[in-house]
Homo-oligomer: A and B are copies of this chain.
């Protein structure tokens, strides 16, 4: 549940405030890629100041910062002229995905989602991007390897990435984030499929909890993906010079992917709701089964017990008791009543 909302830390403070609470002085990993069509250099720095010389080079510079450290972010702010609201958003992990065009740069907040095998749950990480004319600064909350294929592509010069600008780089980062949604959805799709089988075979109690958890996951995924769609749509419609026209077709492609992710989440929701309905009718059917067993036993033996009770009475004058075959006649009568009831239930298709 706690995934569904994050506490806002800066209540009552002026906008742009970065509080020193939280673990905002993490050790961070700073890696820089500086490339154009011909050359590429990759560097890892300890101090953010070392990145600043790249600012004025005409080449594309990608600064990736893993870990959130408020003093580093303040320095970047000053050097690159970033609005204080942006800094506040980078350090607050509960942001809604959004895209804001500040003229000189575009600020993008995303949610990376992946399935954590240790806690058997979906976890998310906030990715913040600052896209300038010749630089992209990306912030990750934790160390991660999700951008490794992009690093490799830049180093090897595979695809168009080295020949085009910062907007294409931002697109590849976006695309990597969206791709991760597919991985999570496949995992959840398998869970739903398994649950569907299970609910048909045996609607046991534990299924209720599983359905509940899947529902919660879908609420969560939908909450993350819906604004992501808006972000990419806003990037497409953006008329700033930072997004070149030929990048539009790629943004359209990643937009289609978010729509598809959205569609799949909605289908999953419908599926889970269908499974819940089947579960409920399964429980009711089970109760009917139990009731039938009870009723069959009761309806057969209660009349027989009554008959036995009658001839267990101690009246002095009960002529049947004296009959030689009274006992056997009664046993026969009991048998026919019993089988009669069985036949009746058979006819009603209860057995």
Contact = CB atoms under 8 A, between A and B. Distances in A.
B15 A253 contact: yes
Interface stretch (A18-26, A67-75, A271-279): A271-279
A37 interface: no
A119 interface: no
Contacts of A13: 149
Contact of A285 (B1, B208, B277): B208
Given A250-B15, A264-B5, A287 B291 contact: yes
A299 B297 contact: yes
A85 B161 contact: no
Interface string A226-266: 11000000000000000000000110110011011001100
A153 B132 CA distance: 33
Contacts of A304: 306, 309
Interface in A290-309: 290-295, 297-299, 301-306, 308-309
A78 to B, nearest CB: 16
Interface size class of A (residues with CB under 8 A): 35 or more
Interface stretch (A38-46, A120-128, A312-320): A312-320
B215 A274 contact: yes
Interface stretch (A27-35, A50-58, A133-141, A322-330): A322-330
Given A5-B186, A96-B263, A263-B223, A208 B281 contact: yes
A283 B279 contact: no
Given A293-B299, A297-B298, A315-B326, A11 B183 contact: yes
Contact of A160 (B14, B179, B295, B309): B14
5 A-B pairs with least C-beta separation: A14-B159, A308-B309, A311-B313, A12-B149, A294-B295
